Amino acid sequence: MKKITLLCLLLSIIAMSANAQYKKGDIELEGEVSYTNIEGINSYKIAPEVNIFLSEHWAIEAGISLSGNDDCHFGISVGASYYLPIISKLYFAPSLKAEIIFGDENWAVGLQPKLIYELTEHLSTNLGIGYLGYGEINGANTFHFGITDQLSWGIAYKF
């Protein structure tokens, strides 16, 4: 009985993957707000970005950001995401990004998992929780892993 249940679950996941809503050539404009607490430093970030889909699962992304706690810093980022359909209109999308923040010359490379839900054909929302990364913050090299240390929410429009 367990084998049949597992087989049905696997076939359902494969069938849902075949109904992917994203396709090669889609362009998505996204705006994201995030809160981070790394090494005891709290910061907030507003980050618009553009995602270009290379296939129904892979997207490359580039963006700019304004971040800070007491002062404001400008940054740029590039990365890639893999969109894995969970159920209709809901995706799990781990995102690997490299970011440089000017002013303090901070940089980071990190992986953040996201859940993405398509509200309409063109509009979606996402929630990111957690972070695994390495970088230089305030002159010190850091490796960081945390579940609740980085929270982000965004909304995107797909062309």
pLDDT in tens, 80-94: 999 999 998 999 999
Confidence bin at 139 (pLDDT 50/70/90)? confident
Name which CATH class applies to 2-158: mainly beta
pLDDT in tens, 14-39: 444 444 578 899 999 999 999 887 66
Grouping H, G, I as helix, E, B as strand and the rest as coil, residue 16 is helix
Contact 83, 68 (CB under 8 A): no
Helices (H), the chain: 2-18
Contact 113, 146 (CB under 8 A): no
pLDDT at residue 17, as a whole number: 44
- b/e map 30-65, b = 16+ CB within 10 Å: bebebebebeeeebebebebebebeebbebebebeb
Domain ranges of the chain: 2-158
Grouping H, G, I as helix, E, B as strand and the rest as coil, residue 52 is strand
